[in-house]
Amino acid sequence: MKLGRIVLGAFAVAAVAATAAWFNLDKETRGLLATLPTDRDVLFWSQPQRDAAFRALDRLPVLAKARAVPAGATPLPLPPGPPLVLPLDVDAYMAQQRSAALVILHDGKLRLERYGLGFDREGRWTSFSVAKSITSTLLGAAVRDGQIRSLDDKVSDYIQEMKGSAYDEVSIRQLLTMTSGVRWNEDYADPNSDVARFNNHKPEEGVDALVSYLRKLPRAAPAGTRWNYSTGETNLVGVLVTRATGKPLAEYLSAKIWAPAGMEQQATWILSRTGQEISGCCIQAATRDFARFGQFILDGARLAGKPIVPDDWLAQATARQADIGRPGRGYGFQWWTYDDGSFAARGIFGQGIFIDPKRRLVIASNGNWAGGATGAAEMAAREDFYKAVQKAVADEAAGKAGG
């Protein structure tokens, strides 16, 4: 879920009023963007600046370049189901979360859809680390396609510039589960952390910026022995998928999932300064389409009855592969796992996709937490909300069975 300067190091903020991009924005968005951030670290943006920027990153060339993720011609229908009755005040919950969008699907039917912060179903919000779970699914597709031989292959087998680095000892599986053992400090308050230093790193000519930085890092623990959250390593997963498939991630995402699985709107994927999709972050998409992605995973990542990932992929990806030090929780292949079989994609400031296979439930949410990137109060309230929705769905099923 964490991100740092590595997320937004791709773009330097300037005064938008002086650019042509400003005049391509609608009046409402121009109003929201009247005061833009003057630095490039999302963690230090003000709340109003985040409210504005999170819905428009890909429409501001002065902020970032992005690659399109085309949708298909036939969106997956989201037929309405009966309104979901919850034992709480949804409006109050959304206000506490500073929620831009909340979409709940149950058995493929739309049971609840609400919007806030002046956002609506036509808008697109940035994913932050929700993209990690999408990136891992693309790696699974590359395995299924035979472009990646095995998760036990070494990272440097696919990214030649990593040969001779600590990643010679790291398998793709360990990269996916963030158990590489390579040193990485994601402390946003530490100016000497890797997320801070990477922001000013000047890569060697012709070398991807991330690869250039990561290949110089030392080993902190034996590979496979310790979990350590690293957005840098998810970005490396994206580089690996690009090398293996020979395609930009945005193109591969469109071909494997976005178009054939029935997403309604084109998405975009923000690029790093060396032109690589920032795969640990920054897919700009409609909340309904984030929910559709959750439904796609819930349905076994299948197209025309055939999975796009190996047969045992989702069972591994969405189960505890690494101990994160929290009872009942774990980390899979870039998914946060719960011991009850549920799992989630999570992004800073309140982005999320929660999936409960037992109850056929998907909850997609976007927001801008007042408590900051990893707001403790908002996080706890969201976990309580997930439980309330699970209970409501279970009670509803029990009532029908008993009636």
Does residue 156 sit in helix, strand or coil?
A: helix
CA distance linking residue 362 with residue 177, whole number of Å = 23
Protein fold of 5-78+98-402: Beta-lactamase (3.40.710)
The two beta strands, 306-307 and 302-303, are antiparallel
The two beta strands, 125-126 and 283-285, are antiparallel
Provide the pLDDT for residue 402.
76
| Cα distances (angstroms) measured from residue 311 to each of 144, 148, 340 | 9, 15, 21
Give, as one character, the DSSP assignment of residue 306: E
Helix 130-144 to helix 231-245 angle, to the nearest 10 degrees? 30
| Cα distances (angstroms) measured from residue 242 to each of 36, 124, 145, 162, 237 | 33, 25, 13, 15, 9
| Cα distances (angstroms) measured from residue 285 to each of 70, 124, 125, 130 | 11, 4, 6, 11
CA angle 309, 315, 321 (to 5 degrees): 110
CA distance linking residue 69 with residue 268, whole number of Å = 5
Does residue 141 sit in helix, strand or coil?
A: helix
Tell me phi and psi for residue 231, to 5 degrees: -65, -35
Beta bridge partners of residue 361, listed in sequence order: 106, 356
CA distance linking residue 319 with residue 361, whole number of Å = 17
CA distance linking residue 71 with residue 260, whole number of Å = 8
Give, as one character, the DSSP assignment of residue 40: S
What residue ranges do the domains of the chain occupy?
A: 5-78+98-402
Cβ–Cβ < 8 Å for 184, 217: yes
Provide the pLDDT for residue 283.
98
- Where would I find the H helices in 38-170? 47-53, 90-97, 130-144
Helix (H) or strand (E) holding 68, with range, is strand 66-69
Who's near 205: CB < 8 A, 6+ residues apart?
none
CA–centroid distance for 52 within its chain: 19
Which amino acid would we find at residue 308? Answer: I
Among 139, 140, 232, smallest CA distance to 184 is for 232
Provide the pLDDT for residue 20.
44
Who's near 43: CB < 8 A, 6+ residues apart?
4, 5, 188, 372, 373
Q: Which residue has the tokens 């400090």?
A: 185
pLDDT along the chain (403 residues), means of 10: 47 37 51 56 84 88 81 98 97 98 98 98 97 98 98 97 95 98 82 73 84 94 96 96 98 98 98 91 97 98 97 98 97 98 97 98 98 94 98 94 74
CA distance linking residue 269 with residue 365, whole number of Å = 19
Provide the pLDDT for residue 264.
98
Provide the pLDDT for residue 30.
58
User: Does pTM surpass 0.85?
Assistant: yes
CA angle 198, 244, 127 (to 5 degrees): 50
CA distance linking residue 99 with residue 118, whole number of Å = 10
